[in-house]
Amino acid sequence: MTTAVRRPARRQYVPPQHGAWAMLLLPYLAGVIVAGFRWPDVPLLGAWLAGYLLSYFVLQAIKSRRPRRYRAQITLYAPVTAVLAAPVLVACPRLLLFAPPYAALLAVNAWYAYRRRERALVNDLASVLQSCLMVFVVAVVAGRPLTDVVTPFAVVLLYLVGTVLYVKTMIRERGNIGYFRASVAYHAAALVAGLAAGILPGVVFAVLLVRAWALPGRALTPRRVGITEIGASALVLLAATV
């Protein structure tokens, strides 16, 4: 009985987006591994995750036109995000330079949420770019030049953009031959770019190309697709940092 009560309560505060966690953690971990760890990275990770949860429920409030429905989640995650972000900004105020691009990308998300078209390709790409910018954020925290993390940024960006196309062929655009061809063509181009970055990225993007070609049409639930992408993210993290 206790378990039955707890599960719905947890779902009220945790989005049912299994693949989102990989998209959030991959750029952060790639940045930390390449740029080096600093103590602000700990509250930065907390603020990053809490900020995602906050943005998710704010966008749900915009989409539904019923902000009261999500008041509890917003009033929980807003102060948590602020408290965790404060020491990071005090330690590294240069991070405020990222405020304009993040604000612009979030505005894109808000627009598509208002139009109830949050699954649009442009909206997904805006979310991917938000995640990938975290590689540069971590580099600034570490005091490293952005040029030091261009390669991991590019590898992660190539992967996540491809994942947007691939996941669409598995779920919302299943059976859409146009999306399937676009996904396979993109992954073929990503393979070429990966080979230019090194042998390991080339091997990983070859695996991703096979996955983009072979898995669409198979009976995989969204949950399984998301879990599969966690494994793919681990391979990409290796390729981006070794």
Q: Which of 151, 169, 150, 153 is nearest to 208 (CA)?
A: 169
Other Cβ atoms less than 10 A from the Cβ of 181: the count is 11
Q: Domain residues for 115?
A: 2-241
Q: Cα separation of 105 and 75, whole Å?
A: 22
Provide φ and ψ at 43, rounded to 5°: -65, -25
pLDDT above 50 (res 1): no
pLDDT above 50 (res 172): yes
**pLDDT, tens digit, 9 for 90 and up, residues 200-230:** 999 999 999 999 999 997 877 877 887 888 8
Other Cβ atoms less than 10 A from the Cβ of 127: the count is 22
pTM above 0.85, yes or no: yes
DSSP label at residue 39: T
Please tell me the number of Cα atoms within 13 Å of 42 on its side-chain side. Answer: 3
**pLDDT, tens digit, 9 for 90 and up, residues 111-130:** 999 999 998 999 999 999 99
Question: What is the domain count for the chain?
Answer: 1
pLDDT above 80 (res 85): yes
**Mean pLDDT value across residues 189-197:** 95
DSSP 6-21: HHHHHHHHS-S-HHHH
Sign of the dihedral defined by the CA atoms of residues 230, 232, 233, 238, in that order: positive
